[in-house]
Structure 1
């Protein structure tokens, strides 16, 4: 089978056209042919808010601790109702914790965080590591620059809502004051560098993962399996032909009024005969509807798959 390298002019032009449609939002796209390392990029000179896409690198940092013997997959982590962070693609740990404290294995937390995008599990894993700085240090130690993890889902959610801490909303806050606070928080997070990645950082993470340069063979297989089983199929995955496989992690920010904060997908596409391409797409501060954003991501999946004829 011939391979039409993703760095081809035709593919870059087509991807650029989709990115133009996303304006006034910014769509960053990177496609790398694993076989020869060639990359095509659109809007690659900035950082993008990862949102839940950061759960894959957090899981990698935890699995590295498993590889070193510092953690065990069957090790139990105590969670209490106060640990619940809203947000999951399916009925989550938060639902289970309504009945009281739980002892959850590290492996179960990993699967919940990556496959189900469970926020409670992600924050528990980050606490287990010792915080975002530890996860970022792991990435840097593996030569992954441009990707940083600063905080968990709870703290980021508070910032998006315009709070500097976990204090509840003021009891007598007016609707106008609440709207202004939420707008400030939304815009401040989008303008910040917290929990962000460059396209190069995302590609480097995925490349080192798929090539076995990030984790042991067993941990690599586990993380790629959890990413392949991700239950959100409506972005890149929905544009791929039958027989193509995708190991990915999506990420989604809240919508403020008509502004879509972040709509992301990053993953490794594998053809039926085993060839691989890495794709990272980060859509920031867009006026698109989620349905339109999904359509763009699916079209990118179709374009990339077509380039692998």
Structure 2
């Protein structure tokens, strides 16, 4: 009888503990299930409350190839020079068809420059780079900055560690062609840890990277980015996302990178930082996109 009573008490306590599991533990378990679906690819996920700094993460101990997600930190580095007065938004950059780098979320600046040389302002380059994910625009911004090392030094100077920018889209594309995806991933060029990306986003939304005007400008450009639709696809009505996605090509049925990182704002003003980096994955684009949407929905539900 005593044994039965003890067993019953233990079961009740275990059930009570399970029911009382903290929200973060529940979210962690749910995110882990999605990451398990992504195997043999590696799905890195981080969700953070920027107010407290508390976070949950899955597969954090590696660098992930940023691809076009690097356009947000590059834009921040450019805007920091605008804040310092060494650049102006209306400064013009001369682009010729030789400067065109293929790739954008929508027909954008590169398509226009293909038809003939034109002068483009820094402001126009920022819009095309972040909102339309135009590769010609971001490589032009990197040239204005003086290269990826300048952007990395800016991030490091602001306490953003674990994120590095080495080269533009054109050079990275040539590296893929010459060495292959495995070599690019192993090199860790243009990459970030989950914590590095979360630190960038947290400091951006807190106004620790840029002036108030430049902060709002960059967040506005990120909010206006709606293609590709990944984490955003899972958010309920009324939730807002300021994000930047990134996508690599596929080689031998595996995609080196499929990414989204951003700041979710709920209707009540609460915020969550979400970083989702998928590496070396055989999943179809449709399948992977569903995982991103599921993560967006889970994050919103946890707020």
TM-score (norm 1): 0.90
CA displacement, residues 128-160 of structure 1 (integer Å, 9 cap, x when unaligned) = 000000100000000000000000000000001
Q: Is 1:110 aligned to residue 105 of structure 2?
A: no
**Unmatched tracts of structure 2, length 5 or more:** 1-20
**Distance in 1 between residues matched to 2:103 and 2:247, nearest whole Å:** 11
Q: Deviations over 1:158-196 (max 9, x none)?
A: 00111xxxxxxxxxxxxxxxxxxxxx4211101111000
Q: Secondary structure at the match of 2:232?
A: helix
Partner of 1:138: 154
- The reply to whether residue 73 of structure 1 matches residue 94 of structure 2 is no
Written as runs of structure 1 = structure 2, the 5 A alignment for 1:149-188 is 149-162=165-178, 184-188=179-183
SS at match of 2:204: helix
Give the superposition deviation at 1:8: 1.0
Q: Is 2:78 aligned against 1:83?
A: no
Larger relative contact order (CA 8 Å, sep ≥ 6): 1
Alignment pair present for 1:209 and 2:204: yes
Give the 3-state SS of the residue equivalent to 1:269 in structure 2. strand
1:275 matched to 2:291? The reply is: no
Structural mapping, 1:87-106, within 5 Å = 87-106=103-122
Runs of 4+ residues over 6 Å off in structure 1: none
Deviation at residue 29 of structure 1 after TM alignment: 0.5
1:289 maps to: 284
Query: After the TM superposition, which residues 44-55 of structure 1 pair with which residues of structure 2 at under 5 Å, given as runs?
Result: 44-55=60-71
Of the candidates 72, 78, 91, which is equivalent to residue 62 of structure 1? 78
Separation in 2 of the partners of 1:244 and 1:286? 29
Structure 2 partner of 1:307: 302
Secondary structure at the counterpart of residue 174 of structure 2: helix
Structure number with larger C-alpha Rg: 2
Deviations 1:182-232 (A, max 9, x none): xx4211101111000001100000000000000000000000000000031
Q: Aligned with 2:188: secondary structure?
A: coil
Is the 2:41–2:282 contact (alpha carbons within 8 Å) kept by the matching residues of 1? yes
- Note if 1:257 corresponds to 2:249: no
- Rounded to whole Å, the distance in 2 between the matches of 1:98 and 1:194 is 28
State TM-score, norm by structure 2. 0.92
The DSSP-based 3-state class of the residue aligned with 2:164 is coil
Structure 1: 5+ residue stretches without partners: 163-183
Aligned CA RMSD, in angstroms, stands at 1.2
**CA distance in 1: counterparts of 2:237 and 2:91, whole angstroms:** 38
State which of 32, 42, 48 in structure 2 corresponds to 1:26.
42
Q: Do the aligned residues in 1 keep the contact of 2:228 with 2:245 (CA within 8 Å)?
A: no
Supply the distance in 2 between the matched residues of 1:115 and 1:98 (Cα, whole angstroms).
20
